[in-house]
């Protein structure tokens, strides 16, 4: 069953077309890599899906429900959660308090003790349950990443958008991060991963969507795409992320 459908989506910034008539779909339960060189429009697309940017054309749907034109809070209520390239946590609050916020404003709108229980479950899933009352500002970088992922999970999404969540990790942390994402995928969450680390892409994604200059240049099995001359040529180019 198709969960996410991107249908001829376009986004312009002045004279720059960052996403250009892009179309692809994700099936329920898939883990798909969103690849492309710097400047290809990957983060712009994630921002369009999550409602952080408004599309200039085309349509985005989740299980047939239109997301295009909705605010980020409305998209979250529909069942979409995301992480960011730069970690966004509330350092003065405890881990539990950080994670309770998306439990309240996510897909099922939990309150009080129910929101706290959802937060504790999300922290358990990312390996932080033992530090639930710790101040978020005291966390290491990898644990801040785990906390941000817990915040996304507490929203109880049908679709999880991971924007370079594995970036900046050392080899041990990377292996732990890959294992964590794999465990989430095994629970049935549909995941779209923006990632430059090919080791992670190969380990997690059987299929990838590849962008270059805002356009779709490949949508195929991971190993096939990574041997595609068009994909190889795109990665040898230069640019700045849109």
Q: In what order do the strands lie in the sheet with 16-27?
A: 16-27, 2-13, 57-62, 65-66
> Going from the N-terminus, what domains does the chain have, and what CATH number goes with each?
1-79+157-242 (3.40.50.300), 91-156 (no CATH)
pLDDT tens column, 213-229? 999 999 999 999 999 99
Neighbours of 96 (CB within 10 A): 22
Q: Are 60 and 24 in contact (CB under 8 A)?
A: no
Tokens of 140: 């290491």
Q: Output the pTM of the full model.
A: 0.90
Rounded CA-CA distance 77/65 in Å is 12
Residues with Cβ within 8 Å of 59's Cβ and at least 6 positions away in sequence, in order, are 5, 7, 8, 9, 66, 68
Q: What is the mean pLDDT of residues 188-210?
A: 95
How confident is the prediction for the chain on average, in pLDDT? 91
238: pLDDT strictly greater than 60? no
Q: Is pLDDT at 105 greater than 80 in this prediction? A: no
Q: Tell me the pairing of strands 80-82 and 65-66.
A: unpaired
pLDDT of residue 112: 79
207-212 and 31-35: which strand pairing? parallel
Report which of residues 105 and 212 the model is more confident about: 212
Higher pLDDT, 174 or 239: 174
pLDDT at site 121: 92
Residue 115 is predicted with a pLDDT of: 87
Residue 147: the pLDDT is: 93
What is residue 86's predicted lDDT score, i.e. its pLDDT? 73
pLDDT at 241: 43
Cα angle value 77/81/86 (rounded, 5°): 135
The pLDDT assigned to 201 comes to 95
Average pLDDT over residues 191-212: 95
State yes or no: pLDDT of 107 exceeds 70: no
pLDDT grade for 19, boundaries at 50, 70 and 90: very high
106 close to 76: Cβ distance less than 8 angstroms: yes
Burial bucket for residue 35 (CB in 10 Å: 0-12, 13-18, 19+): buried
Across the range 45-68, mean pLDDT stands at 97
Give the position of tokens 């229980």: 117
Question: Could you tell me the maximum CA-CA distance found in the chain, to the nearest angstrom?
Answer: 54
Q: If 0-12 CB within 10 Å is exposed, 13-18 middle and 19+ buried, where does residue 103 land?
A: buried
> Residues near 201 by Cβ (< 8 Å), separated by ≥ 6?
33, 35, 193, 195, 208, 222
Identify the pLDDT of residue 239: 42
Q: Is 21 left (phi over 0), alpha (psi -120 to 50) or beta?
A: left
């Amino acid at each position: 069953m198709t969960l996410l459908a991107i249908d001829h989506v376009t986004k312009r910034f002045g004279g720059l077309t960052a996403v250009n008539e892009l179309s692809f779909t994700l099936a329920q339960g898939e883990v798909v890599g969103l690849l492309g060189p710097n400047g290809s429009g990957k983060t712009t697309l994630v921002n369009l899906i999550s409602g952080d940017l408004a599309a200039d054309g085309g349509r985005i749907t989740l299980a047939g429900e239109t997301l295009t034109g909705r605010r980020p809070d409305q998209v979250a209520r529909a069942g979409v959660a995301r992480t960011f390239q730069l970690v966004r946590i509330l350092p003065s609050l405890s881990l539990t308090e950080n994670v309770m916020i998306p439990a309240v404003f996510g897909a099922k709108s939990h309150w009080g003790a129910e929101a706290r229980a959802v937060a504790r479950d999300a922290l358990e899933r990312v390996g932080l349950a033992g530090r639930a009352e710790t101040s978020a500002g005291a966390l290491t970088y990898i644990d801040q990443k785990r906390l941000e992922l817990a915040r996304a999970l507490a929203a109880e999404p049908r679709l999880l958008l991971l924007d370079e969540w594995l970036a900046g990790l050392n080899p041990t942390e990377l292996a732990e991060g890959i294992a964590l994402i794999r465990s989430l995928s095994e629970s049935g969450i549909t995941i779209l991963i923006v990632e430059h680390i090919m080791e992670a892409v190969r380990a997690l994604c059987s299929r990838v969507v590849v962008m270059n200059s805002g356009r779709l240049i490949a949508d195929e099995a991971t190993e096939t795409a990574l041997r595609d001359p068009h994909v190889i040529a795109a990665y040898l180019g230069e640019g700045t992320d849109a």
